[in-house]
Chain A
Amino acid sequence: MSHAWRPLFVIIAVVIIIFTARIIIVPSDFEATNGDYKYQWHRVSSEQDWKDFPVKHKGREFCEQCHDEMTATVKGSGHTNVQCESCHVQFNPDKKGHPIDLKEDFDYLLEIGIDRSRALCKRCHTKLVYRPIPKIYIKNRESYEDMKLVDPTEHNPGIECIECHDVHRTEFK
């Protein structure tokens, strides 16, 4: 056989190796949904991977199972639209933990705590010229009220907000 033909066999062998490797490596459920290779060429089971991602924020309904009195109070207060998790799940808790192991018993994955810091209240209640002032209906007082915004540098600096304010009832202590 002519030496000129030998490289051809090498090329054919390489092509066969590449295609076999491709069949082995590429997952079998790789497909272009709707024939759309531009935007929908993917591993279909990846969609399920994302659907199976654990839900962590379970909302007020979860807390309500035990703390129904407290959630009823919050629902009737000015904080009616604020989720429990906004203040009780946090990154810098001064009081961490929950009497019952929520992770073990309820599959609740977030870390519960109580954030009593002034910094947390300031996120919503600092007065800024460009911050809108929403009006909300407070059921317990049967009135529409403007949200209270303060200048934290003038409004009792150095004292924790919860010294005077009951955040669940949104009233003075």
Chain B
Amino acid sequence: MALTRRELLKKGLLSICGTLIPLSAFELLKPDAMASLIHPYSKKKRWAFTVDTTKCMGCGMCVKACKLENEIPFEAEVQRTWVERYVQTKKGEVIIDSPRGARYGFTKNDPQGKNIPEEEITKGFFVPKLCNHCEKPSCVQVCPVGATYKTEDGVVLVDRKWCIGCGYCINNCPYFARFFHPVHNVAEKCTWCYHRINKGMNTACADSCAFGVRKIGRLNDSESEVHKIITTKRVAVLKPEFGNEPHVFYIGLDHIVR
């Protein structure tokens, strides 16, 4: 085959250009990624949750309501949602506690049972915690039987009839949001009150909060309060370094929060 000089240069340049394009450049051609460029918030119906830690009083009414609503035995030392107290002293010591998951609230200045004089405290606040309903839930990934899953609208649930109680998911949640249900003997977690949100109601915890700390709504519904908070306010998620893409967004998160 006769190859002219012109052709050699042309083909040579083309193949060099071809090898230079990194594989990641083709990512743009994925339909999902293209769609997200057109709609910054995909039209997919996805639930999200916001927590305003600057307003939280630590009354623990959310924990109480959650336990009663979702039939978690009240005196059992497990809960789907809990409130943590962070107190930093002048020495730089950070004391974190959540007595009985705060189901009886915080009624005394006794972090971890210690008596810290008020003048020693530089800052303190309450952080309500719950399942983050991650986009990439590591708890779901490890389930050997397919008993836990993510629904179409982004809620992570446990199939009580199918769970064998091996506990891999409990170990794998970076947020410690899972536990064994003491009655059903299966893995248990927050469902974002799936039975309530699907009827147009609030979650039990959001409903019982008198201070407007907790809110649930559609992430991509421009009418929902959650959408407004996430798009206009300074929000952060817990442990983003794990790459789970959690969907509980916190206002007023501090670096001492774990």
Q: Which residues of A contact B (CB under 8 A)?
A: 27, 30, 33-34, 38-43, 46-47, 49-57, 59, 79, 81-83, 85-86, 89-91, 110, 119, 122-124, 126, 128-132, 134, 152
With known contacts A130-B123, A132-B57, A57–B140 Cβ distance under 8 A = no
Find chain B residues with CB under 8 A from A39 CB.
136-137, 140-141, 149-150
Find chain A residues with CB under 8 A from B146 CB.
30, 41-43
Q: Which parts of B56-72 form the interface with A (CB within 8 Å)?
A: 56-61, 64-65, 68-70
Find chain B residues with CB under 8 A from A34 CB.
152
With known contacts A53-B195, A129-B121, A129-B124, A86–B208 Cβ distance under 8 A = yes
B194→A110 contact, CB < 8 A: no
CA distance A43 to B121 in the complex (A): 51
Find chain B residues with CB under 8 A from A123 CB.
59-61, 104-107
7 residue pairs of the A-B complex, CB under 8 angstroms, read: A27-B162, A46-B159, A55-B69, A83-B61, A110-B68, A129-B109, A130-B125
Highest count of chain B CB atoms <10 Å: which of A39, A81, A90, A119: A39
| Cβ-defined partner of A54 (8 Å) among B65, B160, B161, B195 | B195
CA distance A40 to B157 in the complex (A): 10
With known contacts A55-B201, A57-B65, A152-B107, A49–B210 Cβ distance under 8 A = no
CB of B253, distance to nearest CB on chain A (Å): 15
| Cβ-defined partner of A128 (8 Å) among B60, B69, B109, B194 | B109
| Cβ-defined partner of B104 (8 Å) among A41, A59, A81, A119 | A119
With known contacts A85-B65, A89-B68, A130-B87, A40–B210 Cβ distance under 8 A = no
Q: Does B54 contact A (CB under 8 A)?
A: yes
CB of A148, distance to nearest CB on chain B (Å): 13
| Cβ-defined partner of B210 (8 Å) among A43, A82, A119, A122 | A82
| Cβ-defined partner of B68 (8 Å) among A56, A119, A122, A134 | A56
| Cβ-defined partner of B194 (8 Å) among A43, A53, A130, A132 | A53
Q: Does B97 contact A (CB under 8 A)?
A: no
CB of A22, distance to nearest CB on chain B (Å): 12
Q: Does B96 contact A (CB under 8 A)?
A: no
A49→B105 contact, CB < 8 A: no
The proximity string for B residues 99-121 relative to A, scoring 1 for CB distances below 8 Å and 0 otherwise, is: 00000111111000000001001
For the complex with contacts A43-B146, A128-B124, A134-B211, 4 further pairs of A-B residues with Cβ separation under 8 Å are A47-B157, A57-B207, A130-B123, A134-B57
A91→B137 contact, CB < 8 A: no
CA distance A90 to B87 in the complex (A): 29
CA distance A82 to B74 in the complex (A): 21
Find chain B residues with CB under 8 A from A41 CB.
146, 149
Q: Does B24 contact A (CB under 8 A)?
A: no
A43→B161 contact, CB < 8 A: yes
With known contacts A41-B146, A47-B157, A126–B55 Cβ distance under 8 A = no
Find chain B residues with CB under 8 A from A82 CB.
210
CA distance A59 to B205 in the complex (A): 12
Find chain B residues with CB under 8 A from A124 CB.
57, 59, 105, 210
CA distance A103 to B74 in the complex (A): 20
Find chain A residues with CB under 8 A from B201 CB.
55, 59
CA distance A42 to B65 in the complex (A): 29
Q: Does B196 contact A (CB under 8 A)?
A: yes
CA distance A81 to B150 in the complex (A): 33
Find chain A residues with CB under 8 A from B57 CB.
124, 131-132, 134
B58→A131 contact, CB < 8 A: yes
CB of B247, distance to nearest CB on chain A (Å): 13
CB of A150, distance to nearest CB on chain B (Å): 11
Find chain A residues with CB under 8 A from B70 CB.
53
- Of chain A, the residue at the smallest CB distance from B103 is A91
| Cβ-defined partner of A50 (8 Å) among B74, B141, B195 | B195
With known contacts A57-B204, A59-B207, A122-B107, A86–B147 Cβ distance under 8 A = no
